[in-house]
């Protein structure tokens, strides 16, 4: 059973426009949600996180929105830049019991110049 899902394997966006990456989850016990960016043959880089008690967190060009009733979160990148082209993973964490992160399968973003 996949608790964290990224249903879009890929996304192409024009430079300067908004990129919206989506993530759905099934476990209402998750306390935090995180987004990572990954280039080939490198470790994922942490981008932004959000606590389950909030519905929005913003850091520069990156904003994460959380809709708990829909069990859905999204990452907005505005404006998109060619350097943003990478695979983006969402992850969820429950801090009660195990400290185990559950990752989605990733979305490959391509920003077209």
CB-wise, 104 or 111, nearer to other proteins?
Answer: 104
Question: Which residues have CB under 8 Å from 69's CB, separation 6+?
Answer: none
Shortest distance, position 33 Cβ to other proteins, whole Å:
9
Site for other proteins (CB under 8 A): which residue of 1, 69, 99, 113? 99
CB-wise, 12 or 95, nearer to other proteins?
Answer: 95
- Is residue 64 a contact point for other proteins (CB under 8 A)? no
Site for other proteins (CB under 8 A): which residue of 19, 85, 104, 111? 104
Classify residue 79 as exposed, middle or buried by CB count within 10 Å of its CB (0-12, 13-18, 19+). Answer: middle
Whether the CB-CB separation of 61 and 20 falls below 8 Å is answered with no
Q: What is the chain's length?
A: 113
Site for other proteins (CB under 8 A): which residue of 3, 8, 22, 49? 49
Token pair of 55, please? 């519905």
- Is residue 27 a contact point for other proteins (CB under 8 A)? no
């Amino acid at each position: 059973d996949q608790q964290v899902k990224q249903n879009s394997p890929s996304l192409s966006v024009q430079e300067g426009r908004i990129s919206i990456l989506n993530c759905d989850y099934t476990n209402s016990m998750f306390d935090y949600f995180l987004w990572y960016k990954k280039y080939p043959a490198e470790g994922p880089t942490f981008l932004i996180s959000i606590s389950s008690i909030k519905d929005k967190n913003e850091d520069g060009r990156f904003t994460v929105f959380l809709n708990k009733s829909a069990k859905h979160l999204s990452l907005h990148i505005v404006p998109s830049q060619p350097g943003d082209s990478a695979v983006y993973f969402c992850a969820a964490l429950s801090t009660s019991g195990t400290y185990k992160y559950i990752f989605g399968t990733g979305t490959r973003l391509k920003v077209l110049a």
